[in-house]
Amino acid sequence: MINPARLQQAREVRGWTQTALARQVGVHQSAIAQLEAGRMQPSPPVLDAISRHTGFPLAFFTRPSAPAFPLGSLRFRARASMTARQRRQAFWLAHTLYELMAHMAAQTEYPAPRVPQLASDPVATDRQTREAFGLATDQPIGPLIRTLERAGVWVVAIPVPLPPREAFSAWAGCTPNWGPGAGGPRNPSRCPWNGPAPFGN
């Protein structure tokens, strides 16, 4: 049996409405609504089509639901110009990436976060962050991504067009995460989207 929450997750990551997914799969929108509500199960051909079009492996749809992800921790650039659907897609991308990172962190060592959680004025925040990172207060910061990763921040380039969201960040659990969208790599084909692959294992 599929987990209805996983179907919604795969759809939202793609930024699709139920109607858009139904059109891709070749069913009526009401069928997708019934599937996501858990009122029916897809036939093998429909599930194969959903997997193929969303890019998520079949095993993903039978996995238990992921831990709750803190929506309030997301921070965006150009947030004011975003639509509700764009914010929702960014949330589900962050949710999915965080789950993948947790999977990876259980199998490898990664620097413990050294990023202070601050709520003060920008000048004080800059000073305290530089101190936490071991950076001079009067010098330019070097390679930003390398600096963030050394401080325990997970940085992930998302080769999915996300206008007008140049980048977003999230603090989930004890781990800060930063995900540049299409504003990250200039050639998305050099960084193919293979995020769902570990979910098939």
Q: Give 50-98 pLDDT, tens digit per residue.
A: 999 999 999 999 999 877 776 666 776 666 677 888 888 888 888 888 8
E strands, the chain, where? 75-76, 154-155, 167-172, 175-180
Question: Comparing C-alpha atoms, which of 106, 110, 70 is closest to residue 91?
Answer: 70
Name, in order, each residue with C-beta under 8 angstroms of 59's C-beta and a sequence gap of 6 or more: 199, 200, 201
Is residue 142 in some structural domain?
A: no
To the nearest 10 degrees (0 to 180), the angle between helices 29-36 and 18-25 is: 110
What pLDDT was estimated at residue 16? Answer: 95
Q: Which residue has the higher pLDDT, 184 or 179?
A: 179
d(Cα 84, Cα 57) in Å, to the nearest integer? 27
Q: Please give the tally of structural domains in the chain.
A: 2
Is residue 81 in some structural domain?
A: yes
Is residue 133 in some structural domain?
A: no
Q: What is the pTM of this model?
A: 0.72
Is residue 19 in some structural domain?
A: yes
77: DSSP letter: S
Q: Which of 22, 39, 62 is where one domain is finished?
A: 62
Domain with 55 in it:
4-62
Same domain, 177 and 98: yes
- 156 in Cβ contact with 58 (< 8 Å): no
Is residue 120 in some structural domain?
A: no
